[in-house]
Structure 1
Amino acid sequence: MSTTLKITQTKSRNGANQRQLDTLRSIGLRKIGHTVEQQDSPQMRGMVHAVRHLVKVEEAA
């Protein structure tokens, strides 16, 4: 069974560049406090790394 990542946006998108805004939208985040669950994969880890200063990540079982 694959693991999932619980990703929460903790900071505002204001001041982020267009690439970071696109990454947040690809992850599925819309506003501060919004949480999504995504499958753990190298691609998802890369997207989270690109916006690591705006999100909090936990591993969900």
Structure 2
Amino acid sequence: MAEQTANKLKVTLVKSAIGYDQKQKKTVAALGLRKLNTSVVVTDTPVMRGMIAKVGHLVTVEEVAE
């Protein structure tokens, strides 16, 4: 069987969630982002893409090759 490597995304919080509604704050926290300029690497799935789209104005996204 051929192994499939899952693509990864590096998500960085570049703008504070202060002043935005509670749903957006919870989405940022669910992504694992706590402080400004922190990054997390997440698996590229439709669920993660949707979460990133909801807070796209607060984060930057880069594809990571493994």
| TM-score normalised per structure 1 | 0.97
Figure out how many residues of one structure are paired with residues of the other and give that number. Answer: 61
- Structure 1 runs not aligned, ≥5 long: none
**Deviating 4+ runs (over 3 angstroms):** none
Structure (1 or 2) with the larger CA radius of gyration: 2
CA RMSD of superposed structures (Å):
0.5
- Structure 2 runs not aligned, ≥5 long: none
Equivalents in 1 of 2:58, 2:12: separation in Å? 9
Of all paired residues, the percent bearing the same amino acid is: 46
Q: Which residue of 1 aligns with 2:48?
A: 44
